[in-house]
Amino acid sequence: EAKESGKSRICYFDAKRHQSNRSRNQLLVDIEKAIENDEFILHFQPRICLRDGSLSGAEALLRWFRPDGPTPPVEVITAIRGTSLEWELDTWVMKEALAQVRRFRAYGLQGPFSLNVMPSTIENRELPSLLKQFLDDASISGENLEIEVLEVSSIRDFDQANEILRVCKELGIRFSLDDFGTGYASLTYFHSLPVDKLKIDQLFIRTLLSDGGSLALVKSILAISDANDCFVVAEGVESYSIASALRHLGCDYGQGFGLAKPMASDDYIAWAHNWDAQVFLDRMAASG
């Protein structure tokens, strides 16, 4: 009896795994096609300088609107992990982001504009020359571009990554560690890579005003970055009172739904032209 049911349970799990492998494979095929057919688009989330309220560019975020509904970027990233599609997707994102940045610049908008890449991409020796080509094609300089590296804990060869990042930095490109403070990106990695900015994970920002542990962590990240001439971006700023608290703590930049949501590039252009730094500073002062 017990053996029987044990057996059937194993079968059940196997069947499930088989099914999920099949759907992952289907998703990988769909992603590959989506890259080829330009089915992805980028949305842009503004980044605000908390000191003076000025707009400091935006982060490009992947969007995939399929006929049966949107697929979140995290699903795409989870599916492609460990496959050659990491490089294919990041290549598409770099090219498309720079084409959009070119448009933004034509509308008089200043950067830097950031995009996200998988850790394997900064270990790829083709990265510097590819970026140089995309920058040249879009007639923009590297100073307009910032690269956010995800999940740095899975970088395999730090010496190689360092060398590649240094060549990119000679083009003026800057680098930031995404989701800083989580297991994916902690102090160890900060000291192993030539980093210009830290992006504090939204987990700690959302709970900044309610959790003493988050406050302590944010303070220590700010102290470390200060000592290392590094800038800090707070992610997940959902209210003006959080923005105000971050400003008082000395955090350089804020990004979050409370300031602005990610938006399509045309909407970003319109939004950026309407942004009023003084109104923002007044509202922040009123809330905190």
Contact residues toward ligand C2E (CB under 6 A) are 45, 61-62, 72-74, 77, 90, 93, 116-118, 148, 150, 178-179, 202, 235-238, 256-257, 262
- As a whole number of angstroms, the distance between CA 183 and CA 166 comes to 25
HEC string for 81-115: CCCCHHHHHHHHHHHHHHHHHHHHHHCCCCCCEEE
Q: Which of these ranges, 8-16, 81-89, 158-166, 174-182, lies near Mg ion under the rule CB under 5 A? A: 174-182
Decide if 42 contacts 243 (C-beta within 8 A): no
Site for Mg ion in 179-208 (CB under 5 A): 179
Residue 62: CB minimum distance to Mg ion, A: 10
**Could you tell me whether strands 231-234 and 253-254 are parallel, antiparallel, or unpaired per DSSP bridges?**
parallel
Residue 74, contacted partner among Mg ion, ligand C2E, none, CB below 5-8 A by kind: ligand C2E
Q: Pick between residue 90 and residue 123 the one whose CB is nearest to ligand C2E.
A: 90
Closest CA to 255 of 273, 238, 280: 238
Q: Pick between residue 128 and residue 181 the one whose CB is nearest to Mg ion.
A: 181
Q: Is 90 in the site for Mg ion (CB under 5 A)?
A: no
Q: Is 178 in the site for Mg ion (CB under 5 A)?
A: yes
> Given CA atoms 46, 178, 79, 119 in this order, what sign does their dihedral have?
positive
Residue 156: CB minimum distance to ligand C2E, A: 17
- As a whole number of angstroms, the distance between CA 183 and CA 153 comes to 8
Which residues bind to Mg ion, rule: CB under 5 A? 116, 148, 178-179, 235
